Structure 1
Amino acid sequence: MAATASRTMIRTQGRKAFAAFGVRRPGTRHPLVATAMVLPVAALLMVAFGGWQAVVTQASSVGVMLGR
């Protein structure tokens, strides 16, 4: 019983620490927000390294994997 109470207390303190900095718990970011964060970096890397063919190949692979 005491071990469960201490784990609950530690989790509660962790949540409070995240809330104090205005950060949500890890792993709760909306997929559209994650996409919006990744796309500019992906575009920059694509332009910097001339990876048009690699982008097309990866997009095609993801499309097949998703069944589209």
Structure 2
Amino acid sequence: MAHTAGRTTPRGQGRLAAVAALGTRPGGRRHPLVAAAIVLPAALLLGLVSGWVQVVMTQASSVAGMLGS
């Protein structure tokens, strides 16, 4: 499927556009590590707010206890 919508270039749009373009490749795609660095803090914050981090930590300690650590 071909892209028909054009992308705007960050030139002439100021610092915010330059920061948003950080880590992008010439084709307009972001490097996977840059994308992970953007998403992981937001996912961790969401996990802390919703409480699933405590569930994961409980499961991890149970597995560590079964392994004898």
Please report the TM-score for the alignment, with normalisation by the length of structure 1. Answer: 0.40
Structure with the greater relative contact order (CA < 8 A, sep ≥ 6): 1 or 2?
2
Which of the pair is proportionally richer in helix? 1
